[in-house]
Amino acid sequence: MKILSIGAAIAALTFGAAGIATAGSATATTNPPAAQAPAVRGEHSMPGKITRIDHHSGMVHVDSYGMPLVVHFPPRSIAGLKVGDHIVLHLGYTKAH
């Protein structure tokens, strides 16, 4: 089973009217020029409620449509979030090479 990279492709977190925080990958990478960027697939949005959050590691546990999800964001981008907040996850992926 291949693991697909969500964090490196697209994962944005929207909460209320405060705006959008863009997710990054856990390792330092450089983005290829737009002409060479792989096509993002499976793009969709999922509403959810934060059930657990670790502000130090950036791990956020979300319940969406009764499914538990665990996603990672740069810790600074989730500083204003707390358990019980309603958010919308914007997801997509590219195949890892």
What is the value of pTM for the model shown? 0.63
The pLDDT tens digits for 4-47 are: 333 333 344 433 333 333 344 344 445 556 667 789 999 999 99
Give residue 62's pLDDT.
98
Structurally, the chain folds into a number of domains equal to 1
User: Domain residues for 31?
Assistant: 5-94
| CATH code, domain with 77 | 2.40.50
DSSP string, 38-84: PPPEEEEEEEEEEEEEETTTTEEEEEETTEEEEEE--GGGGTT--TT
